[in-house]
Amino acid sequence: MKYDRILIRYGEISTKGRNRKNFIDKLRKSVKRVLHDFPEIKVEGQRDRMFVLLNDQPHEEIIERLKGVFGIQSFSPVLKVEKDLDTMKEKALQLIQKVYQEGDTFKITAKRADKSFALDTFGINQAFGAHILTSMPSISVDVKKPSINLVIEVRKEASYISCENIKGAVGLPAGSSGKGMLMLSGGIDSPVAGYLSMKRGIEVEAVHFYSPPFTSERSKQKVIDLAEKLSRINGGVALHIVPFTEIQQLIQKQIPDNYTMTTTRRLMLRITDALREKYQGLSIITGESLGQVASQTMESMYAINEVVSTPILRPLIMMDKADIIDIAQTIDTHDISIRPFEDCCTVFVPSSPKTKPKLEKVQHFESYTDFEPYIQKAVENTEKLVIMPNSNIEKEMEDLF
């Protein structure tokens, strides 16, 4: 008795009417991507269920990989059985016998998508329960906390029987929400913001500002390592590295000390927006959390946000640091983030940045300098890397989403 396929139940997809086809398509791609090194496996996406046909591949490893795929509510390794009651009962019994251990209890969960099936859910529970109880005198029923939950799904084409129901990663499938540019520093917060965005189906491209020689190769490597962790989530991530030294030096020269931080952020945002346009993104994502530091007061956001009309997504805005750290630990970026390094912002940070900058003032200070040519130059000289899981090797990312 061996499972022959995995049945995948969709999460929020099923509520998304017209977009459903697109979502199923994206989910199918995600599933294929995590199983790319199992060429024997086939993936079939149907309207309300997806099936991974195992073709004799071990289901344990595949289950592990599916646990990380966004857009899956739950999934089960199943046995496909023709809709003949006796055959179904026999297979269900064999399945339970295989996993049964002394003292186990069970219940039956019936799902009937095919309304023309001879038995309704109550009838299925009765018939299968009776069959199992008479064949296995030592087992008993426990509807509240059974050790074995036998799930029987009766669908149009066949029935599917399983003893396992595994929680999926929920969220939305990779790439189903369009592309966003993630401003990725070397800190704890921005990788977490990237992860949460990916969970909502956003295809993330990372943008990092660095200022050699004030920031070292080591700090660049740190960001590459963070991007590599993010690349594991969906199988690859683009990382744009923006040379920022010249602009930072210009800011030091042109802007009064207590406003350099505000202008720096405004210019980072303008450059990120230019890259977004170049690569057809629809939003910008940051790791900002309200009140955390000088640049993250509402006054600061008000003065900084003004330079773009693109939506800025701030997944962490209302989160506490401790909760952010928890997520950083689960996605394995925390230990990279806490490596000591120089950030382009910390190197140039003034001793007392304005925590409540005024928009009119920063506009006024900036009005003496034409930053536009510098922005264009930075965009032109931006280096694009494509980071793949388990390597920092550049590869073409075509067709990933």
Interacting residue ranges for ligand ATP, rule: CB under 6 A:
183-185, 187-190, 207-209, 286-288, 292-293, 295-296, 343-345
Name which of 19 and 249 has its Cβ closer to ligand ATP: 249
Q: Is 106 annotated as a binding residue?
A: no
| 183 assigned to a ligand binding site | yes
Kindly state the smallest distance separating residue 185's Cβ from Mg ion, in Å: 4
Whether 23 and 36 have beta carbons less than 8 Å apart is answered as: no
Residue (177 or 263) nearer to Mg ion, CB: 263
Say whether 136 counts as a known binding-site residue: no
Q: Is 208 annotated as a binding-site member?
A: yes
Residue 77 interacts with which of Mg ion, ligand ATP, none, CB < 5 to 8 Å by class: none
Rounded least distance, CB 107 to Mg ion, Å = 50
Smallest distance from ligand ATP to CB 268, Å? 6
By Cβ distance, which residue is nearest to ligand ATP? 187
Cis-peptide into 213, omega within 30 deg: yes
Nearest approach, Cβ of 117 to ligand ATP (angstroms)? 53
184 contacts which partner out of Mg ion, ligand ATP, none, CB within 5 to 8 A by kind? ligand ATP
Quick one: 117 or 210, whose CB is closer to ligand ATP? 210
Q: Which does 219 bind (CB under 5 to 8 A by kind): ligand ATP, Mg ion, none?
A: none
Query: Is 265 within any annotated ligand binding site?
Result: yes
150 is in an annotated binding site: no
- The Cα 90–Cα 96 span in angstroms is 10
Measured between alpha carbons, how far is 267 from 287 in angstroms, rounded to an integer?
Answer: 17
Name residue, tokens 């020689």. Answer: 213
Residue count, binding to Mg ion (CB under 5 A):
2
| Cβ at position 279, least distance to Mg ion in Å | 23
Output b/e per residue, 224-236; b: 16+ Cβ within 10 A.
Answer: bbbbbbbbbbbbb
Using CB under 5 A as the binding rule, whether residue 191 contacts Mg ion is answered as no
CB of 193 to ligand ATP, least distance (A): 6
Decide: 13 and 71 in contact? Cβ < 8 Å: yes
Contact in structure between 307 and 375 (CB atoms under 8 Å) = no
Q: How many whole angstroms from its chain centre is CA 65?
A: 14
Residue nearest to Mg ion (CB): 187
> Could you give the string, one character per residue 169-188, with x where binding to Mg ion holds by CB under 5 A and - elsewhere?
----------------x-x-
Residue 198's binding partner, choosing from Mg ion, ligand ATP, none, with beta-carbon cut-off 5 to 8 A by kind? none
- Give the Cα separation of 126 and 283 in Å (integer): 53
Q: Which is nearer to ligand ATP, 38 or 214 (CB)?
A: 214
**Smallest distance from ligand ATP to CB 344, Å:** 5
Select the binding partner of residue 169 from ligand ATP, Mg ion, none (C-beta < 5 to 8 A, by kind). Answer: none
Identify which of 100, 371, 391, 116 has the alpha carbon closest to the alpha carbon of residue 228: 391
Instruction: Give me the residues that bind Mg ion (CB under 5 A), please.
Output: 185, 187
Q: Which residues are annotated as a binding site for ATP?
A: 183-184, 208-209, 265, 287, 296
Q: Which residues are annotated as a binding site?
A: 183-184, 208-209, 265, 287, 296
